[in-house]
Amino acid sequence: MFKQSCTNLKKLPKQRVRKWLGGIETIIFDADGVLWSFGEAIKGSVDTFNLIRSLGRNTFVATNNSEALTETLVKKALGFGYELKEQELISSSMSIANFLASRQFQKKVYVIGEQGVADELAKVGICSEFKIKDELTVPSKQFAAEMEIDEDVGAVVVAKDDNFSVAKIIRACNYLQNPKTLFLATCVDASYPIGVGNRIIVGAAAMLAAVQAICKRKPLILGKPNPLMAAELLQCGVIKPETTLMVGDTLHTDIAFGCNCGFHTMLVGTGVSSLKEAQALIEDDDDKKKNMIPDTYLPSVCDLQEFLC
């Protein structure tokens, strides 16, 4: 309906928007920057999310957050007041675990990341080298020469890691010297706003760039925007692309994910990307960026309420 236009729904007649939304059976929300920001729900998002559910729409949450188990993220959502079931949340770490399980992966995984990645792998019976506390207490040359290499490691996963270090880069890159070792990552989010002025924190893309620059290998990204993240929902017919809306705050992950899956897409202005950035993509001649153009825009998720009556 709105393709390649980034239509601001607030500037359209309400009846036209309501008619369009009437054909949407499923809404998938990003979490951070759309429903909540760190330890606080975004204003009006809880009521909007629950209203959509009460109207009989399917609701899901798709997040690149790999810091915790899906069960823990669902508990976080429930704590804010969102009516969300465990099977309605998909994460990048869960996507990696499912990918390896589907390949009947039998080896170990070296993880640069947080506990959530290791825990999701453990749920599907995959052992991870996660608790190795790599720190450079000696010169890097000595560390590389003396570190033990586990020959049973068959994959390296890179995710956001608050304890990222040169030692972890060295270990990961040495495992990746073996071309048979899988190179996987959760996402390409470079940074996240923290809601304090213009301050940001570092995302997984920074860790990934360091490893990739050294090993000269391209990782398989299994979080958004990879459509594999929604493959199970699509294959079993739980959702249909033509009646599904993806709502996100980041153009190169959320919106590209929605486009790659064939969903309708909506950008909200409560997180990483802005309407101005989205409009600039329309004028950009780079065809590779066209999948980041959202169909629609609203300042916040809560603005959906006026079109849902």
Look up residue 153 and give its two tokens: 């490691």
The four Cα atoms 228, 231, 233, 239 give a dihedral, to 10 degrees, of: 100
User: Hey, what amino acid is at 13?
Assistant: P
Q: Is 249 annotated as a binding residue?
A: yes
85 marked as binding residue: no
Helix (H) or strand (E) holding 205, with range, is helix 204-215
Among the options 32, 119, 189, 254, which is catalytic? 32
Determine if residue 32 is labeled as part of a ligand binding site: yes
Beta bridge mates, 128: 109
Q: Is 30 a catalytic residue?
A: yes
Cα distance between the two ends of the chain: 20
30 is in an annotated binding site: yes
**Separation between Cα atoms, residue 238 and residue 247, nearest integer Å:** 18
* Residue 285 annotated to the active site: no
The dihedral sign for the CA sequence 201, 205, 208, 209: negative
Binding residues: 30, 32, 224, 249
Annotated binding site for substrate: 224
* Residues that constitute the known binding site for Mg(2+): 30, 32, 249
Catalytic residues: 30, 32
